[in-house]
């Protein structure tokens, strides 16, 4: 069974009388442990696709199976639960809570899954150790550099042992050197923890870290290539 299977999914937005087809009949399948880059220009539908895969949005038509679960049939709270347990998000703008410590930010997903306070603390510090931020648990997010903030976000994404990480332009706000460090962290998580990483980017340099590149144009998949690594 594939980790992610989409059949003929479409997304149509209606702006007044005009129907905008953000996605048209996309079918794909992704296996556990893959490292995938989704590429395309803005307006190509890649972000819409990500939102649907990330259970933040539902397709207008078509079927999306996540670990065999038909996500389209779930209600708002069931989707929230899927996001909580199966999916970790890493965003371009980090999206950490302000004036909150790194540790508390990483604890957040566990607050919503009912992990006892003592375990939360321990697991959050372990996750921070994994992303290389040991000793910075009590720093507030605004005291951290961009790269460090993105590491906190990655720690938050992995702390609930979610099998999938969705990273939406994770290096968009970072300089080249830091971008490479962050990408290497994703590679490490993918290799060592077998976490499936799905990356949205428009930079070929960043996409080069992945093992499979899917390109979008005008709401359709135009290419899907596995990259042979040396």
Partner 1 sequence: MINIPSTIKISLRSLKVNKMRSGLTMLGIVIGVGAVIAMLAVGSGARQRISAQISSMGSNLMIILPGATTSGGVRMGMGTQPTLSMADAEAIPKECPAVQSVAPIHNGVAQIIYGSLNWSTGVVGTTPNMLEVRDWALSAGRSFTAEDVRSASKVALLGQTVVENLFGSVNPVGQNIRIKNVPFTVIGVLGEKGQSPNGQDQDDTIYIPVTTAQKKLFGASFPGMVRIIMVKAKGADDLLPAEKQITELLRQRHHIGQKQDDDFSVRNLTQMMQAAEQSTKVMTLLLGAIASVSLLVGGIGIMNIMLVSVTERTREIGIRMAIGAKTWDIRLQFIIEALILSLIGGIFGIIIGITGSQVLSMLAGWPTIVSAASILMSFSFSGLTGIFFGYYPAHKASLLDPIEALRYE
Which spans of this chain sit near partner 1 (rule: CB under 8 A)? 51, 54, 56-57, 76-77, 80-81, 83-85, 89, 91, 95-100, 104, 108-109, 111-114, 117, 156, 160
Please state the closest distance from residue 181 (CB atom) to partner 1, in A.
Answer: 23
Nearer to partner 1 (CB atom), residue 98 or residue 229? 98
Nearer to partner 1 (CB atom), residue 151 or residue 156? 156
Residues 6+ apart with CB under 8 A from 214: 28, 36, 37, 38, 39, 221, 223, 224
- DSSP string across 88-127: EEE-TT--PPTTSBHHHHHHHHHHHTT--HHHHHHHHHHH
Q: What H or E segment, with its residue span, contains residue 7?
A: strand 4-15
Q: What span, in angstroms and rounded, lies between the C-alpha atoms of 21 and 211? A: 29
Nearer to partner 1 (CB atom), residue 68 or residue 116? 116
Please state the closest distance from residue 94 (CB atom) to partner 1, in A.
Answer: 10
Please state the closest distance from residue 83 (CB atom) to partner 1, in A.
Answer: 5
Nearer to partner 1 (CB atom), residue 84 or residue 171? 84
Number of Cβ atoms within 10 Å of the Cβ of 184: 11
Contact 57, 86 (CB under 8 A): no
Q: What span, in angstroms and rounded, lies between the C-alpha atoms of 48 and 79? A: 16
Q: What span, in angstroms and rounded, lies between the C-alpha atoms of 82 and 222? A: 29
Number of Cβ atoms within 10 Å of the Cβ of 191: 11
Please state the closest distance from residue 89 (CB atom) to partner 1, in A.
Answer: 5
Nearer to partner 1 (CB atom), residue 91 or residue 146? 91
Please state the closest distance from residue 229 (CB atom) to partner 1, in A.
Answer: 31
């Amino acid at each position: 069974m594939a980790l992610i299977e989409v059949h003929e999914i479409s997304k149509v937005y209606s702006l007044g009388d005009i129907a905008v087809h953000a996605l048209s009949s996309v079918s794909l399948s992704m296996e556990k442990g893959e490292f995938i880059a989704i590429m395309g220009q803005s307006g190509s539908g890649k972000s819409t696709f990500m939102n649907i895969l990330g259970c933040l949005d539902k397709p207008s038509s078509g079927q999306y199976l996540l670990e065999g679960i038909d996500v389209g049939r779930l209600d708002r709270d069931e989707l929230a639960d899927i996001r909580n347990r199966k999916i970790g998000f890493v965003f371009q703008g980090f999206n950490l809570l302000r004036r909150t410590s790194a540790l508390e930010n990483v604890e957040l997903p566990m607050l919503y899954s009912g992990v006892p306070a003592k375990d939360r603390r321990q697991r959050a510090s372990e996750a921070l150790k994994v992303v290389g931020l040991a000793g910075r648990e009590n720093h507030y997010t605004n005291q951290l550099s961009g790269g460090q903030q993105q590491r906190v976000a990655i720690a938050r994404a992995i702390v609930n042992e979610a099998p999938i990480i969705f990273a939406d332009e994770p290096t968009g706000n970072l300089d080249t050197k830091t971008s490479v460090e962050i990408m290497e962290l994703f590679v490490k998580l993918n290799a060592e923890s077998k976490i499936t990483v799905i990356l949205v980017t428009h930079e070929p340099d960043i996409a080069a870290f992945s093992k499979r590149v899917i390109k979008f144009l005008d709401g359709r998949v135009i290419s899907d290539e596995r990259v042979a690594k040396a």
